[in-house]
Amino acid sequence: MDKEKKLQVFISSTYKDLINERQAAVEAVLNAGHIPAGMELFKAGDQTQKEIIKEWIEESDVYLLILGARYGSVDSESNISYTEWEYNLARKLGIPSFSLVLTDDYIDQKVKDEDLKAGDVEINIREFKKFKATVESHMVEFIDHKQAIKGAVLGSLNNIIRRTSHLKGWIRYDDKLDEEKFYELVKENQDLKNKLQNSKVTLKNQTKDLKQGNDFIEIKIDFKIYNKATKINQKGNEYTRYEYDKDDFSKVEISFNEVANVLLPILIQYGEQGLLKSVVKEKLYDFIMSKAGFKLISNKSYREDKVYFNDKKSYKANFTILELDKIITQLKLLNLISFTQVIDESSYVEKIHVYVCITEIGIEEFQSLFAYKKDDGTE
């Protein structure tokens, strides 16, 4: 999409209970360079204003619903809430849409913070449940704190822009292209495509000395062995416990294609938003332990206190977290993934979370790994 083109994003929700959330969404749309639209300043029930809302939705490029804890005022003509009426209209018109649904924990916190009256919570009424089920059957992001709204709006807008070619948007009149300028841009676009293809070849040459594909790496796993023993307590009852025996170690070989098989399908689901690096590490940790023949029986975290067992023995097994970082960094050097940092402002102390995102080359690798290929190369 032309970066000078601004999309009109209609923001729909109940109003008084979601003022802060609407403001966060408006700021996110503005920060993305687009135009937020909404009709919260008009009174519900005015037929004239309902027609105006209809025109605004018809002229919008994207529809955004924020669903909180209220069903909202009911339209006497359709016998559904105005919010649901707006949602249905956008779907009927085929306008690209996405929804932000506040989680129950978020709603409970709003009540505790007196940002929402307990008596206004309508999540248990039949109409709300039915509407929410409809919303959740389509593109949706679950929001557990206000700070997550901006990222969710930006990510969803980017996804819509990437997969939707017919978005009209708004553009300044003096930015309209004459025919000569158009063909210049077509040529420039082709030149950029050629440069991109050449850069891929260059990247491939730059990474040819790196381990990749079916190349293996060896990982040493240290663990403590606990033998299963039957004991008798003071009351004469038998019970089972695991008693420490000795330290030992194991080695396992994994290929980078195996790592890609585990991580790329997960990352491709999250698109440009990415997945927390700590979650990626946990997935990789469990895969390596499974590859080494250990089965998980206690899941406290992805570090030393995960407990695995094999046969009649129990193991507290671990390999250095540095190994995980090295493997993930190797995927980055191979241009299969990239990192992005997100500031979490939800706590008193600002935290920076690192997200792992799949790259265009990573998507191509994913498609190559999971494609059905002929065994003999014949047609």
- The H-or-E segment that residue 321 falls in is helix 321-333
Each residue's pLDDT tens digit, 133-187: 999 998 899 999 999 999 999 999 988 888 877 777 776 655 555 656 666 777 7
Q: Per the domain annotation, does 87 fall within a domain? A: yes
Side-by-side strand order, sheet with 337-344: 275-276, 351-358, 337-344
Within a domain: residue 107?
A: yes
Cα–Cα–Cα angle for 364, 323, 210, nearest 5°? 45
Q: Which CATH number fits the domain that encloses residue 72? A: 3.40.50.10140
54 lies in some domain:
yes
Q: How many CB atoms lie within 10 A of CB 314?
A: 23
Q: Which two tokens stand for residue 83?
A: 């919010």
Confidence at residue 154, expressed as pLDDT on a 0 to 100 scale: 92
The confidence score (pLDDT) of residue 71 equals 92
3 within a domain of the structure (yes/no): no
119 and 202, same domain (yes or no): no
> If DSSP codes are grouped into helix, strand and coil, which group holds residue 330?
helix
Q: What is residue 120's DSSP assignment?
A: G
The answer to whether residues 183 and 108 belong to one domain is: no
**27 and 169 share a domain?**
yes
Q: Are residues 315 and 335 in the same domain?
A: yes
- Per this entry, what is the length of the chain? 379
> What pLDDT was estimated at residue 190?
74
Is the pLDDT higher at 359 or at 343? 359
Which of 33, 24, 14, 13 has its CA nearest to residue 147? 24
| Tokens describing residue 205 | 């040459």
In a domain, 146, yes or no: yes
Report the distance separating Cα 282 and Cα 10, nearest Å: 38
Quote the CA–CA distance of 215 and 27 in Å, as a whole number.
Answer: 47
- Identify whether residues 189 and 313 lie together within a single domain: no
Model confidence pLDDT, tens digit, residues 8-61: 999 999 988 898 999 999 999 998 889 898 765 454 444 566 788 888 899 899
Domain shared by 185 and 243, yes or no: no
Same domain, 306 and 353: yes
Q: Are residues 165 and 147 in the same domain?
A: yes
Would you state the pLDDT for residue 273? 67
Residue 270, domain extent: 216-370
For the stretch 182-210, pLDDT in tens is 667 777 777 777 666 666 656 566 667 78
Tell me: do 195 and 231 sit in the same domain.
no
In a domain, 233, yes or no: yes
In a domain, 2, yes or no: no
Total structural domains within the chain: 3
Strands 8-12 and 35-37: parallel
Q: How confident is the model at residue 131 (pLDDT cuts 50, 70, 90)?
A: very high
Whether the CB-CB separation of 321 and 253 falls below 8 Å is answered with no
Examine the domain organization and report whether 202 and 221 are in the same domain. Answer: no
Looking at residue 300, its pLDDT comes to 42
Range from 57-61, 93-97, 220-224, 318-322 carrying the lowest mean pLDDT: 318-322
Report how far residue 289's alpha carbon sits from residue 295's, in angstroms, rounded to the nearest whole number: 7
Assess whether 200 and 154 both reside in one domain. Answer: no
The answer to the question of residue 186 being in a domain is: yes
For residue 8, what are its two tokens?
């009109």
DSSP 8-state secondary structure symbol assigned to residue 176: P
Do 49 and 163 share a domain, yes or no?
Answer: yes
